[in-house]
């Protein structure tokens, strides 16, 4: 018997006669939060990321200020010209996002247009992310409902961190050590 | 699962006695478990629907286990459809052989690894080494453990038994090109690890991972982490091999909405861990292999009481509240699964033929704190009692009883040990004011059990 057949047979034998269970889903879903922008900004800030809340018209100016003289990766589909090509020598990367979660201060990238590849958003030490207010949802269930499982997804909650040395939190091991978020309202 | 994890044939009592005498270990453990415990309580308290999430988590896992054959087939189909290749492994040897062959086929002799309990369980690194393949751990704690040539002691913070100056020594000793002026400042140590691994990440062609969850409906795998080494391993190399226990399955995409709330809050005590990666099949041109691992899990599944241990999502909350773990440390459990979950999972996965494994169900006072914090409501005390009844009698029980008393009762000596550790190592965290707190905190244990270990022992001894 192949390993596959044998494991499946063992499983069937193990659970034969066991009762199935109903899944109670009485937790919160489909929430319409009040001030999602405010909550998201507060929760991102809790992770020691840098947060700006900016009216849409002022976003280009804010971007200029953040980018400065940095050698930035500007992914295909991000509304801005120019940029640096080589991930290994870039100072940073600027992206949009697919969805953002207020309750947990999380940004989710699906690496679609304007969001770069997985490597582009990982290797440079600085990540600047532009989040539109209408991309912010209340919680995890609302975020999953908007996401496409067929795409590679990267959930980001603050900068890279470790607590492996005597439980001291240190920002930045392998991922970007600085995360800056511009929320466009 | 090998019983020689620690190279010690001992029993839990023998092993834990050593640990109890190691004041550094105990001080670190205490600090770690109490800190994480506090953070967990804070973020769990924020969610008004925590108990509803917990009930859903438990039911989703039970439903999955009940229909595991069907969901495994669905997963296989979905992963294959998305360009991945699925392999099945009955036991550790078979899994190791599959992975070794896959690595050999790439022609590579080095692989990078992201922390995975399943690959520790099957001792994959050793199996690869036997074929001339070097596996590099990339999680900071695993790197410390690997370079220091020792064993993980906690699921979440595996190097918690090492302090900063020991870590500095290990780095100076074992890391090529380490800056000679390296201090023991945690950011400096983290930076040294970053530089040490960066080039390896960019160069490596093969990565090996585990997964926290697999979604049958979509074929998606999910890895939660903090440092970014997971993202490096999962996205940069050309070939990705994931070794995952068959119980890690969830039926539908939607089920993640429960577990992505339960796990980070229970585990690191954060609202969300810094990074979570999800991928379905072969992504961005990668070659993707999934190895589904049984290795004793179907035996656990066959046990009506014990099968609930397969709901475990390895959050480590039960370790952090366990008065026995806090004193004995992770190494005493002699397996990759320490603490309360290890005490019920290891004897079921490996059987209770060794002295060590037969003593594990006795490594508890049955206080029930583990059950209260478990995000999937595993009734660990219930399984322990059931396993005790099944354990071969005599020596193990007596030894077990002795250690529970020894570990839990001697507050005075514990306080002294901690004071000594504090003075010697200048480790005292700001929040802990002075020596008296050690004494107070020591007493601040979960209430001792409705039925204490001793009562249980006496009742069963007479029965
Ligand atoms: S048994 Fe429960 S509390 Fe312990 S690690 Fe597993 S899921 Fe977490």
Q: What are the φ/ψ torsions at residue A180 (nearest 5 degrees)? A: -125, 135
Residue B394: the pLDDT is 58
pTM for the full predicted model: 0.88
Q: Which among B254, B275, B265, B382 is positioned nearest to B315, based on CA atoms?
A: B265
Q: How many Cα atoms sit within 13 Å of B16 on the Cβ side?
A: 30
Q: Give the nearest chain B residue to A175 (CA atoms).
A: B228
What are the structural domain ranges in chain B?
12-298, 395-460
Q: In what order do the strands lie in the sheet with A178-184?
A: A50-54, A178-184, A126-132, A92-95, A72-73
d(CA B227, CA B138): 9
Task: Tell which one of B376, B381, B383 to mutate to probe ligand 1, the residue whose CB is within 8 A of the most ligand atoms.
Answer: B376
pLDDT digits (tens, 9 = 90+) for A51-66: 999 999 999 999 999 9
Please report whether residue A36 resides in a domain.
yes
Per residue of chain B (463 residues), what is the pLDDT tens digit? Answer: 443 344 344 677 766 666 666 777 778 788 888 989 999 999 999 999 999 999 999 999 999 999 999 999 999 999 999 999 999 999 999 999 999 999 999 999 999 999 899 999 999 999 999 999 999 999 888 888 888 888 777 777 778 888 888 899 999 998 888 888 899 998 899 889 888 898 889 899 999 999 999 999 999 999 999 999 999 999 999 999 999 999 999 999 999 999 999 999 999 899 999 999 999 999 989 999 999 999 999 999 999 999 999 999 999 999 999 988 888 888 888 888 889 999 999 999 988 888 888 888 888 888 999 999 999 999 999 999 999 988 886 555 555 554 555 555 544 444 443 333 333 323 223 222 222 223 223 223 333 333 434 444 444 444 3
In a domain, A55, yes or no: yes
Q: Are strands B220-225 and B275-280 parallel, antiparallel or unpaired?
A: antiparallel
- Please identify, by atom number, the ligand 1 atom nearest to the C-alpha of residue B370: 3
Which of A21, A122, A166 is opposite residue B62, by nearest beta carbon? Answer: A21
Q: Would you call A23 and B59 a contact, using CB atoms and an 8 Å cutoff?
A: yes
Are B280 and A149 inside 8 Å of each other by CB? yes
Identify the residue whose C-alpha is closest to ligand 1 atom 3.
B374
User: How many other CB atoms are there within 10 angstroms of residue B392's CB atom?
Assistant: 12
Chain A residues lying within 8 Å of B301, measured CB to CB: 10-11, 14-15
> How buried is B180 (Cβ within 10 angstroms: 0-12 exposed, 13-18 middle, 19+ buried)?
exposed
Centre of ligand 1 from the C-alpha of residue B341, in Å? 6
Contact B272 A117 (CB under 8 A): no
Task: Compute the distance between CA of residue B192 and CA of residue B178 in angstroms, rounded to an integer.
Answer: 7
Domain count, chain A: 1
pLDDT at A155 over 90: yes
**Better-scored residue on pLDDT, B12 or A6:** A6
A57 Cα to chain B: minimum distance (Å):
30
A174 in reach of chain B (CB within 8 A): yes
Which of these, A129, A114, A121, A117, lies nearest to A80 by C-alpha position?
A: A114
Chain A residues touching B307 at Cβ < 8 A = 14
Say if the Cβ atoms of A20 and B66 lie within 8 Å: yes
Flag if A175 and B227 touch (Cβ within 8 Å): yes
The predicted-structure confidence for A112-131, as pLDDT tens digits, reads as follows: 999 999 999 999 999 999 99
Both structure tokens of B317: 């909350």
Contact B283 A106 (CB under 8 A): no
In a domain, A23, yes or no: no
DSSP-assigned letter for residue B93: H
Residue A12 lies in a domain: no
pLDDT greater than 70 at residue A73: yes
Query: What pLDDT, on a 0 to 100 scale, did the predictor assign at position B103?
Result: 98
How far apart are the two ends of chain A, measured CA to CA in Å? 61
As a whole number of angstroms, the distance between CA B392 and CA B389 comes to 8
Residues 6+ apart with CB under 8 A from B124: B95, B96, B99, B135, B208, B243
Instruction: Tell me which residue of B113, B110, B85, B114 sits closest to B98, measured CA to CA.
Output: B85
Task: Take residue A101 and report the two structure tokens written for it.
Answer: 């979660």
Is B374 touching ligand 1 by the criterion CB < 6 Å?
A: yes
B167 pocket-lining for ligand 1 (C-beta < 6 Å): no
Dist CA B351 CA B160 (whole Å)? 28
Instruction: Please measure the distance between the N-terminal and C-terminal CA atoms of chain B and give it in whole angstroms.
Output: 34
Tokens standing for B103? 């690595």
Range of the domain at A99: 32-184
Q: Is residue A156 part of a domain?
A: yes
CB B332 within 8 Å of CB B15: yes
The answer to whether residue A44 is domain-embedded is: yes
CATH superfamily ID and name for B12-298: NagB/RpiA/CoA transferase-like (3.40.50.10420)
Q: Domain holding A160: CATH number? A: 3.40.50.10420
For chain B, say whether A33 makes contact (Cβ under 8 Å): no
Q: Would you say residue A9 lies in a domain? A: no
Q: Is B318 in the pocket of ligand 1 (CB under 6 A)?
A: yes
The complex's ipTM?
0.96
Enumerate the residues of chain B whose CB falls inside 8 A of the CB of residue A43.
271
Residues of A in contact with B54 (CB under 8 A): none
Within a domain: A19:
no
């Amino acid at each position: 018997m192949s390993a596959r057949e044998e494991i499946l047979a063992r499983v069937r034998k193990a659970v034969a006669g066991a009762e199935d269970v109903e899944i109670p889903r009485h937790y919160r879903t489909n929430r319409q939060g009040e001030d999602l922008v405010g909550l998201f900004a507060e929760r991102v800030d809790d992770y020691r990321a840098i947060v700006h809340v900016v009216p849409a018209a002022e976003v280009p100016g804010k971007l200029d200020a953040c980018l400065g003289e940095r050698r930035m990766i500007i992914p295909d589909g991000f509304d801005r010209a120019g940029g640096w090509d080589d991930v290994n020598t870039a100072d940073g990367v600027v992206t949009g996002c697919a969805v953002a979660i207020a309750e947990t201060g999380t940004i989710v990238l699906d690496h679609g247009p304007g969001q770069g590849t997985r490597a582009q958003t990982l290797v440079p030490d600085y990540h600047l992310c532009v989040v539109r207010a209408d991309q912010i949802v209340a919680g995890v269930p609302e975020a999953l409902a908007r996401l496409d499982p067929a795409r590679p997804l990267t959930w980001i909650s603050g900068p890279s961190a470790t607590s492996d040395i005597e439980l001291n939190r240190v920002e930045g091991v392998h991922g970007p050590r600085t995360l800056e978020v511009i929320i466009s309202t | 699962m090998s019983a020689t994890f620690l190279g010690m044939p001992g029993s839990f009592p023998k092993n834990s006695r050593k640990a109890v005498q190691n004041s550094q270990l105990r001080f670190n453990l205490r600090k770690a478990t109490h800190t994480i415990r506090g953070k967990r309580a804070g973020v769990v308290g924020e969610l008004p629907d925590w108990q509803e999430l917990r009930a859903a988590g438990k039911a989703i896992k039970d439903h999955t286990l009940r229909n595991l054959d069907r969901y495994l087939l669905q997963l296989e189909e979905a992963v294959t459809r998305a360009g991945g290749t699925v392999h099945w492994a009955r036991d550790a040897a078979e899994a190791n052989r599959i992975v070794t062959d896959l690595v050999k086929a790439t022609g590579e002799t080095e692989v990078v690894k992201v922390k995975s309990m399943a690959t520790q369980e099957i001792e994959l690194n050793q199996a690869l080494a036997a074929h001339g393949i070097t596996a590099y751990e990339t999680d900071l704690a695993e790197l410390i453990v690997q370079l220091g040539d020792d064993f993980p002691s906690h699921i979440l913070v595996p190097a918690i038994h090492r302090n900063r100056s020991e870590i500095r020594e290990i780095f100076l000793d074992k890391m090529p090109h380490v800056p000679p002026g390296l201090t023991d400042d945690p950011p400096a140590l983290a930076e040294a690890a970053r530089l040490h691994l960066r080039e390896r990440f960019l160069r490596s062609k093969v990565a090996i991972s585990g997964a926290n969850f697999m979604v049958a409906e979509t074929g998606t795998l999910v890895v939660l982490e903090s440092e970014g080494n997971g993202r490096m391993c999962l996205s940069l190399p050309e070939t990705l091999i994931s070794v995952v226990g068959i119980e890690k399955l969830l039926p539908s995409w939607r089920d993640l909405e429960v577990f992505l709330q339960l796990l980070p809050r229970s585990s690191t005590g954060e609202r969300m861990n810094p990074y979570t990666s999800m991928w379905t099949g072969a992504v961005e041109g990668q070659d993707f292999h999934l190895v589904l691992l049984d290795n004793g899990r179907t035996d656990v599944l066959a046990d009506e009481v014990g099968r609930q241990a397969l709901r475990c999502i390895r959050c480590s909350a039960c370790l952090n509240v366990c008065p026995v773990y806090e004193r004995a440390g992770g190494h005493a459990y002699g397996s990759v699964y320490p603490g309360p979950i290890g005490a019920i999972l290891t004897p079921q996965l490996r059987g209770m033929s060794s002295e060590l494994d037969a003593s594990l169900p006795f490594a508890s006072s049955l206080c029930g704190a583990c059950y209260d914090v478990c995000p999937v409501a595993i009734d660990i005390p219930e399984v322990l009692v059931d396993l005790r009844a099944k354990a071969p009698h005599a020596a193990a029980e007596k030894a077990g009883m002795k250690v529970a008393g020894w570990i839990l009762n001697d507050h005075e000596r514990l306080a002294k040990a901690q004071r000594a550790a504090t003075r010697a190592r200048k480790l005292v965290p700001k929040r802990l004011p002075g020596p008296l707190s050690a004494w107070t905190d020591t007493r601040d244990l979960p209430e001792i059990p409705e039925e204490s270990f001793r009562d249980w022992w006496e009742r069963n001894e007479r029965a």
